[in-house]
Amino acid sequence: MTFLFDIGRVLLDFDFESSLARLLPPDCPDSHERLLRLLERKDDFEAGMIDPESYMNWALGVLGSDATPEQFRHAWQHIFTPNEPMWQSVRQLSAAGHRLILFSNTNAIHCPWVFEEYPEFSLFHGAVLSFETGHIKPQPPIYQHAVDAHGLDPQSTLYIDDLPENIATGREFGFHCHPYHLQNHAAYESWLSGFPI
């Protein structure tokens, strides 16, 4: 079997707001709105259409922050918490000899840093990362890229993602899909038990 794993809210939980809020000016009256504005260009950033330096400089301007780009980089990176129940499953699947591939919307600030910060990512045999492909999930081209780059047989490919729209495209490609919820890992285990693993 081949497994496609999303990263965010599957392998790693994340909290952008708490980390980036430290960069805001003191007594900022619209802190939540400024943080939300960072999402305006997040898709383009994760599709590799904006380089990290340009995104960081733009984001610091949106925040009205006097932080340095390096301070922004640090805050942007330190948002993650490992989802240990899923990592336990990853270790078991790896030990059983299954092929594991990362399939994630991510950016050039988080990668490759996140792989160095969490060495167990070495259990994965490959990765399809949005910023390297020019497309983001749920756009079909990134799924086709995954199929072509890794020779996927959809009928023997299990795909785990937290976003319903990403799962919907996965199903269109014929993958066996599970919409993952951090608060209901047991549902994933129950789904997984239905396969000859």
Assess if residue 197 is contained within a domain.
no
CB 24, CB 64: distance < 8 Å: yes
Among 82, 68, 71, residue whose Cα is nearest residue 13: 82
Query: Where a domain ends, among 25, 44, 77?
Result: 77
Same domain, 110 and 42: no
| Total-model pTM | 0.96
Tens digit of each residue's pLDDT (9 = 90 or more) over 162-179? 999 999 999 999 999 999
Classify the phi-psi angles of 158: left when phi > 0, otherwise alpha if psi is within -120 to 50, otherwise beta. Answer: beta
Tens digit of each residue's pLDDT (9 = 90 or more) over 120-152? 999 999 999 999 999 999 999 999 999 999 999
CB 137, CB 159: distance < 8 Å: no
- Three-state secondary structure call for residue 139: coil
- The tokens 């396969």 sit on which residue? 195
Rounded to whole angstroms, the Cα distance separating 103 from 192 reads: 18
- Three-state secondary structure call for residue 157: strand
Same domain, 89 and 163: yes
